[in-house]
Chains A and B, each alone.
Chain A
Amino acid sequence: MIRVILGTALASVFIIGLGLIGLAAGGSRSLTAYLTLSGLLFAIGMFGFLARRNAISMVMAIELMLNAVNLAIIAFASFNPRLGSAGSVIALLVMAVAAAEATVGLSIILAIFRNKKTPLVDEYDAMRQ
């Protein structure tokens, strides 16, 4: 319990701090803020992918990473008028691909789950040397 409170406090401090920095950088009118946001989200997703034991958690983290990239594309398109509507188109295509990938990934996890009886990736070490 105390860990939860401590973690939450730490996280909120962290986020508020970042918020202030983002504001200082120029708020919603600066590309830097959007990109920073994108990088942070990507890092969060990376951490989740590398650190969680459940396979589905890993898929969720992958989705986070894909969204972060999407955000970056949209941000660039927003601040660069020459790109015009290409940014939106690319983001839409990325979204579609992410959907396809999530589908297939989850199907695979279901299939493995049927074999291994566990969703924990610790157990998926048949390729171990």
Chain B
Amino acid sequence: MFELLVPAIIALPLAGFLFTAIAGRRLGKRAHLVPVWAVGLAWAIGMWVAFNALTRAEPFGDTGFASTIYTWIPAGSFQVTAGVFVDGLTACLLIVVLTIGLLVHVYSIGYMSHDPGYWRFFAYLNLFMVSMLLLILGDSFLTVFVAWELVGLSSYLLIGFWKHKRSAALAAKKAFIVNRVGDVGFALGIMAVFVNTGTLNIRDSIHVLTSATLAPLPIPIWVVALLIFAGAMGKSAQFPLHVWLPDAMEGPTPVSALIHAATMVNAGVYLIARTNPIFASAPDAMVVVAAIGIFTAILAASIAMTQTDIKRVLAYSTLSQLGYMFASLGVGAFTAAIFHLMTHGFFKGLLFLGSGSVIHAVHEEQDMRKMGGLAKKIPHTYRTMLIGSIAIAGIPPLAGFFSKDEILGEAFKLGFQWVWAVGIVVALMTAFYMFRLIGLTFWGESRVDPAVEPHIHESPPVMTTPLWLLAIPSILLGLVLTIGGPPLFSGTGLLAGWLEPVFAQGEELLHREPEAFQLFGIDGGLLLASVAVAVIGVLAAWRLFGVNLWTFRRRPDPERVRTLTARVPFLYRASLNKWWFDDLNHLLFMVIGGRVAAFLWWFDRRVVDDTVNDVAKTTVGAGAELRRVQTGRVQNYALGIALGLIVMAGSFLVLAAR
């Protein structure tokens, strides 16, 4: 039965995409019916499959369920099959992708209702669902790579959805190109895997790679690991390939919620989690992963603190949380990374959809300096966003607290104290900028454009219902997934139980032994530190940007904000300018690269082309010169004959004389 059900999860959105692409234009306002129902059905099937996988029912068992759909490339010794593989990790990703995907689809019915490209949007959304599902269900590196590229394509189409807007088109191009850079690394990594193992099936190749301990591999395993990480860097926007994600906010908000918060950017995390034994065999590569991850986290958090566009703040926040996930993978806390992936997917999706609702309410204004005092006017949006912010700040007992602190705790206990230190600072900054966002948007005096103010209204239920539906896991997911085990401990708990067979080999290669949880020892201390830092961040934000929550009331203090920023002018400017990375890229690739390209163009024209042209010109010229011999006059020809005769006779004479 599952041989049919699992491919059906992919086939349903695919059918939805094809139908909408072909017939969508004529359906007008009803174009959403088929895509949304397709995703809804896929959600139902997916939940059933996930349930069976996580409870280890037959035929999933402990190792997961693999099914080959058909043989894609039968080329003698090079065989590639297209098939699906479902285990606990896949199930977790399925839950996140399908749930958030369905809710975004429903939300888009309301958000995009006035857009002339309504049908196109749903077609692209379905295409994206197909690609993402294929990515997480695929069992061979080649399938994953194809899905990887498809996801990039869908992202490009959706970021540049409003194609008449130049900034959107440029952002889409930037996203695709930067992704491509990472994809080159990924492709090289796949080739390295093939060279090493001769197969592209993920499980088989991992098996070969990790059991070849005696004979050295043609390509060292740390090279393979780093190449795969390069691909993850591109897709999940880690430094230095992070520059595309903030610009991707040019796309419609549902796109930002789905692709750039909850699903596509998690593909990198999924990839490394899937190939964790490869990484576990190369501890140096893991250190690189952790370093880049945590560096991205603090870089992004520092930029988020000064941004004024509401979606940009959330984008940098996503970058920062992704950095956390990679740091977690890098230190070896794989389960924690997946935990954070799931919780982050829900509350970041909630925050993005909420911001979309805010933008919708103030008539497409995205600058927070022109918002304020919206709490009473759009209550549903306000309350759900508040829940999301509390979750991401890491205040217990909401979801973010559990996952974030598990990462930090594991980092500290596994000997990566520097990761913990940076992570704690990032947690502080996270809490600060999130409540800065809430303060500027919902509390305080209204700075909304007077012409717009009377028209501020709450979003229709089709948009607020997904918000509330996402708020629930934001509150409860952390508690739910740690049932059966204490927090800050990845060895037990519901999620740990589900993912244990996935990461068992990795943990074994890293020589991990489960330790007992000490509430009044190190674990408790770390817990307290995380909570303390979160609270400090929240209070600092309240002090500067105001608060209007239950009994806490405080006015915003822009004067104090100004004096504080005046004290650290360099840091403020650096943060505002995104640490000048975009300018650096512009200089390197556009200016210098442009000069190199111009030089090469000159070279190609003048040296290469002209050489060929000169050969031709020489030939033509020689021909023209030779043509002058043909005068048409017999006497000239006769002179030639006479000369030839003399030469021959003379040379014969000379030769005969010898």
Chains A and B touch (C-beta atoms under 8 A apart): yes
Are the CB atoms of B633 and A121 closer together than 8 Å?
yes
Chain A residues positioned under 8 Å from B211 (CB to CB): none
Distance in angstroms between the alpha carbons of A50 and B631 in the assembled complex: 14
Distance in angstroms between the alpha carbons of A121 and B631 in the assembled complex: 12
Q: Which residue of B lies closest to A123 (CB)?
A: B633
Q: What per-residue 1/0 map shows which CB atoms of A68-79 lie under 8 Å from chain B?
A: 000000000000
Chain A residues positioned under 8 Å from B75 (CB to CB): none
The smallest C-beta distance from A60 to any residue of chain B, in angstroms, reads 14
The smallest C-beta distance from A117 to any residue of chain B, in angstroms, reads 17
In the complex, number of A-B residue pairs with CB atoms less than 8 Å apart: 29
- In chain A between 111 and 129, which residues have their CB closer than 8 angstroms to a CB of chain B? 121-122, 124-129
Are the CB atoms of B635 and A126 closer together than 8 Å?
no
Are the CB atoms of A129 and B635 closer together than 8 Å?
no
Distance in angstroms between the alpha carbons of A129 and B633 in the assembled complex: 11
The smallest C-beta distance from A106 to any residue of chain B, in angstroms, reads 15
Q: Which residue of A lies closest to B646 (CB)?
A: A46
Chain B interface size band reads 10 to 19
Distance in angstroms between the alpha carbons of A128 and B636 in the assembled complex: 11
* Interface flag for B630 (CB, 8 Å): yes
Chain A residues positioned under 8 Å from B639 (CB to CB): 50
A interface size (C-beta, 8 A): 13
Distance in angstroms between the alpha carbons of A51 and B639 in the assembled complex: 9
Contact of B631 among A46, A51, A58, A128 (CB under 8 A): A128
Q: What per-residue 1/0 map shows which CB atoms of A27-57 lie under 8 Å from chain B?
A: 0000000000000000000100111000000
Interface of B is mostly: helix
Question: Given A46-B642, A50-B642, are A125 and B631 also a contact pair (CB < 8 Å)?
Answer: yes
Q: Which residue of A lies closest to B633 (CB)?
A: A125
The smallest C-beta distance from B612 to any residue of chain A, in angstroms, reads 26
Distance in angstroms between the alpha carbons of A112 and B639 in the assembled complex: 22
The smallest C-beta distance from B247 to any residue of chain A, in angstroms, reads 66
Are the CB atoms of B630 and A129 closer together than 8 Å?
yes
Chain A residues positioned under 8 Å from B635 (CB to CB): 49-51, 58, 121
Distance in angstroms between the alpha carbons of A13 and B402 in the assembled complex: 128
Chain A residues positioned under 8 Å from B454 (CB to CB): none
Chain B residues positioned under 8 Å from A122 (CB to CB): 633
Q: Which 3 A-B pairs have the closest CB atoms?
A: A128-B632, A125-B632, A129-B630
B: which residues have CB within 8 A of A? 627, 630-635, 638-639, 642
| Other A-B pairs beyond A50-B639, A121-B635, 20, CB < 8 Å | A46-B642, A49-B638, A50-B635, A50-B642, A51-B635, A58-B635, A121-B633, A124-B633, A125-B631, A125-B632, A125-B633, A126-B632, A127-B632, A128-B630, A128-B631, A128-B632, A128-B633, A129-B627, A129-B630, A129-B632
A: which residues have CB within 8 A of B? 46, 49-51, 58, 121-122, 124-129
